């Protein structure tokens, strides 16, 4: 019995899309489905899972552009991010064109989320935390029982998210990391939107951008 995690490195930005599932109930969730939907769908089918939700940390193209493709096959509810990222979903056609990506239409997530909301993957419960700074509506998903944080583009191995995008805020990002993430148990595993995993304890000691 366990919470299983498989990571797909999707899009030219090598974004970490996660497939999470409870191996007893076979209920599954995807996070940050940025693209490469065919690859993800094939793996989900191979594992015999049914995806009950797609959770989004924030509205950047590499984290959300796969959703309209996925919706061509299945009407899976898309939860998150916080509504403050709505402007990013509205501007997806222009932003994807600007980056030379496949055209992505604007879309509206099924439900925006707020800090304190609780999400489930089978028997595993995740808390929603609102960490603005990289984008205004950025969320992270924390599973206390599994000591796991899905951190999107907030905190990386010895680095932090950029704040030079529209409506980024460096001070907010640092304050939120200190107040809401560095207060989690040190052994919490952090899976970020890009690059390798880390832990809260490692970042508190070695992150050059935000020390505890
Ligand atoms: Zn981002
Ligand atoms: Zn990203």
User: Which H, E and C letters describe 159-209, residue by residue?
Assistant: EECCCCCCCCCHHHHHHHHHHHHCCCCCCCEEEECCCCCEEHHHHHHHCCC
- pLDDT per position as a tens digit, 14-35: 999 999 999 999 999 999 999 9
User: Is 99 part of a structural domain of the chain?
Assistant: yes
What is the spatial order of strands in the sheet that 78-79 belongs to? 3-10, 15-22, 27-31, 50-55, 78-79
> Ligand 1 centre and the CA of 58: distance in Å?
7
CATH of the domain at 198: 3.60.15.10
User: Is 157 part of a structural domain of the chain?
Assistant: yes
At 128 the three-state DSSP class reads strand
Instruction: Give me the pLDDT at residue 136, please.
Output: 98
Residue numbers of the domain that contains 182: 3-206
119: left (phi over 0), alpha (psi -120 to 50) or beta: beta
The answer to whether residue 155 scores a pLDDT higher than 70 is: yes
> Ligand 1 centre and the CA of 200: distance in Å?
20
Of all residues in the chain, the percent with pLDDT exceeding 70 is 100
Instruction: Give me the pLDDT at residue 162, please.
Output: 97
> Ligand 2 centre and the CA of 113: distance in Å?
19
- pLDDT per position as a tens digit, 35-87: 999 999 999 999 999 999 999 999 999 999 999 999 999 999 999 999 999 99
- pLDDT per position as a tens digit, 96-152: 999 999 899 999 999 999 999 999 999 999 999 999 999 999 999 999 999 999 999
Find the ligand nearest to 14 CA.
2
> Ligand 1 centre and the CA of 45: distance in Å?
28
Find the ligand nearest to 62 CA.
2
User: Is 141 part of a structural domain of the chain?
Assistant: yes
User: Is 61 part of a structural domain of the chain?
Assistant: yes
User: What value does the mean pLDDT take over residues 166-195?
Assistant: 98
Q: Work out the pLDDT band at 211, boundaries 50, 70, 90.
A: confident
Instruction: Give me the pLDDT at residue 159, please.
Output: 98
User: Is 147 part of a structural domain of the chain?
Assistant: yes
Handedness of CA 101, 103, 106, 112 (dihedral sign): negative
User: Is 164 part of a structural domain of the chain?
Assistant: yes
d(CA 147, CA 180): 15
Rounded mean pLDDT of the chain? 97
Q: Which of 13, 27, 17, 6 is nearest to 66 (CA)?
A: 17
The answer to whether residue 210 scores a pLDDT higher than 90 is: yes
d(CA 65, CA 60): 8
CA dist 146 → 36, 75, 90, 125 (Å): 28, 29, 35, 9
Find the ligand nearest to 15 CA.
2
> Ligand 1 centre and the CA of 80: distance in Å?
14
pTM of the model: 0.98
Find the ligand nearest to 34 CA.
2
User: What value does the mean pLDDT take over residues 85-100?
Assistant: 96
Neighbours of ion ligand 2 (CB under 5 A): 62, 153, 193
> Ligand 1 centre and the CA of 211: distance in Å?
22
Instruction: Give me the pLDDT at residue 111, please.
Output: 98
Domain count, the chain: 1
d(CA 170, CA 20): 30
User: Is 212 part of a structural domain of the chain?
Assistant: no
d(CA 54, CA 110): 10
The answer to whether residue 1 scores a pLDDT higher than 70 is: no
Instruction: Give me the pLDDT at residue 51, please.
Output: 97
User: Is 211 part of a structural domain of the chain?
Assistant: no
> Ligand 2 centre and the CA of 25: distance in Å?
30
């Amino acid at each position: 019995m366990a919470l299983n995690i498989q990571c797909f490195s999707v899009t030219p930005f090598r974004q970490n899309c996660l497939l999470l599932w409870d191996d007893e109930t076979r209920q599954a969730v995807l996070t940050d489905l940025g693209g490469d939907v065919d690859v993800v769908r094939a793996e989900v089918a191979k594992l015999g899972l049914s995806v009950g939700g797609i959770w989004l940390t924030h509205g950047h193209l590499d984290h959300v552009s796969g959703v309209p493709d996925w919706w061509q096959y299945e009407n899976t509810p898309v939860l998150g991010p916080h509504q403050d990222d709505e402007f990013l979903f509205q501007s997806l056609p222009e932003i994807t064109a600007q980056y030379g990506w496949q055209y992505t239409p604007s879309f509206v997530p099924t439900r925006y989320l707020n800090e304190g909301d609780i999400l489930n993957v089978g028997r595993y419960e995740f808390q929603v935390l609102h960490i603005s700074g990289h984008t205004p509506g950025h969320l992270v998903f924390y599973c206390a029982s599994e000591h796991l944080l899905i951190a999107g583009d907030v905190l990386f191995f010895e680095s932090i998210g950029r704040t030079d995008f529209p409506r980024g805020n460096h001070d907010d990002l640092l304050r939120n990391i200190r107040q809401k993430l560095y207060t989690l148990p040190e052994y919490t595993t952090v899976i970020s939107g890009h690059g390798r995993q880390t832990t809260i304890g490692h970042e508190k000691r070695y992150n050059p951008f935000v020390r505890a």
